[in-house]
A = this chain, B = another copy of it.
Amino acid sequence: MVQFVMLQAPPRKDTRERLLEAAEAAVLAKGFAATSIDELIAAVGITKSGFFYHFKDKADLAKAMMLRYLEQDKALLDSLFDRADELNEDPLHGFLVGLKMFAEMMANLPANYPGCLAASFAYQDTLFNREVCALNAEGMLAWRRRFRERFERIAERYPPRIPADLDTLADTAYTLAEGGLILNRVLKDPTILPRQILQFRDFVRLLFAPAG
């Protein structure tokens, strides 16, 4: 009896979340403009009016996608740094551990259409309003702040071997991630991005580790 009731009203996973999931996959594969509401509702199994119950229009979907992306992005950043910090007291060693973990993460991306919503939105930015573009920029600045803070602590203890611009150094992680994802995808080789990150790690070590 209980079983029967549950079959009638299945414990439906959050429809809105499933719409956002389907939208992200579709946008990463073909872009926002080519992603139709019809295909999203087909993937989730509701009607078009159901979609407009969750999002007031397509621009609202874009904003929700960006917010969801930023949330996941922040969680990734947190897990990267917090765990690296727990393991190490020395800022340089902790950071090198974090970069290694980052490379490992990037080596285990979904095989099909790995990618980053920030890049996809960036290359279609006239489709989005100022708010969504500003959110995207804010996400990038969060990476810069986080990395810069680490580099400041490292540089304090280990003076760099050559002059280094800490903002540029901080941006490199995001830059390599975005560029590497593009190469990964076009060349269909998932090892490119992790290798770029490990090479950056070599550079950081070469730059800060005491000579000899």
Contacts of A34 in B (CB 8 A): 31-34, 124, 127
B140 & A186 in contact (Cβ 8 Å cutoff): yes
Q: Mark A107-127, 1 if CB is under 8 A from B, else 0.
A: 000000101001110111111
Contacts of A176 in B (CB 8 A): 175-176, 179
Stretch among A13-21, A82-90, A150-158, A195-203 lining the B interface: A195-203
Task: Report the Cα distance A207→B206, complex, angstroms.
Answer: 8
Contacts of A145 in B (CB 8 A): none
- Judge whether A141 is part of the interface by a CB distance below 8 angstroms: yes
Contacts of A171 in B (CB 8 A): 183, 192, 195-196
Enumerate the 8 nearest inter-chain pairs by beta-carbon distance, A residue then B residue, closest first: A179-B179, A175-B179, A33-B34, A178-B179, A33-B33, A31-B124, A168-B195, A31-B31
Most buried by B among A182, A185, A196: A182
Contacts of A195 in B (CB 8 A): 165, 168, 171
Among B31, B126, B177, contact of A32 (Cβ-Cβ < 8 Å)? B31
- Range of interface residues on chain A? 35 or more
Q: How far is the CB of A72 from chain B (nearest CB, A)?
A: 18
- Judge whether A7 is part of the interface by a CB distance below 8 angstroms: no
Contacts of A119 in B (CB 8 A): 119, 123, 182
Q: How far is the CB of A209 from chain B (nearest CB, A)?
A: 10
